[in-house]
Amino acid sequence: MYCPVCGASETRVIETRSADEGKVNRRRRECPKCQGRFTTYERLEEKPYLWVAKKGGRREAFDREKLTKGIQRSCEKLPVSLEQIEEAVAHIEGRLRSTGQGEVAAGTIGQFASDELRKINKVAYVRFASVYREFTDIESFTQEVAKLIEDKEIERNGK
């Protein structure tokens, strides 16, 4: 594994943890040359391929990185760790693959991502939903925020 800081070809593993119910190995690595530290994730490459049916009828291969970047964008400048994002993406991908279908609608992925973000951080959820659900006016946006406030009140009073 090359060091992303200095490019050295030798790095060493300093810690290994299992994640996503044993389906992923998370490794902390250190470069002996520059002492830079970074994290890598090792996971089984899933087959068969999963296809995504887009709105316009186009199909494309499922791209885990694209999903991760979309969720990361929603979580920018919020107290959401990379580990939480990775776990959410792994859970979404697991749900998609467990359907047993080789093709899923793009909207299904968006809904699953919304579900995960709603559990992690409400602001990230609203950011993601505003793009995924294509809020076109302030009313749509305020209705969604009102639902979150109502859910919070129900939680508070129910506990």
DSSP conformation letters of 22-47: TTEEEEEEE-TTT--EEEEEEEPPP-
Question: Does 113 share its domain with 154?
Answer: yes
What pLDDT sits at residue 46?
63
- For residue 47, the model assigns a pLDDT of 60
- Position 109 scores a pLDDT of 95
Query: What is the span of the domain harbouring residue 30?
Result: 1-44
- List the one residue out of 52, 34, 137 whose CA is nearest residue 102: 52
**Is 141 found in the same domain as 77?**
yes
Contact 49, 98 (CB under 8 A): no
The Cα 128–Cα 90 span in angstroms is 18
pTM listed for this prediction: 0.68
Q: Residue 52: name the closest of 10, 110, 12 by CA.
A: 110
Do 95 and 136 lie in one domain? The reply is: yes
Q: In terms of domains, do 133 and 114 share one?
A: yes
Instruction: Count how many domains the chain has.
Output: 2
Residues 40 and 51 in one domain: no
Annotate 82-124 with DSSP letters as a single string: HHHHHHHHHHHHHHHHHT--SEEEHHHHHHHHHHHHHHH-HHH
* pLDDT value of position 145: 85
**Same structural domain, 99 and 53:** yes
pLDDT along the chain (159 residues), means of 10: 91 91 89 94 76 93 95 97 94 90 92 95 91 80 84 77
pLDDT of residue 148: 84
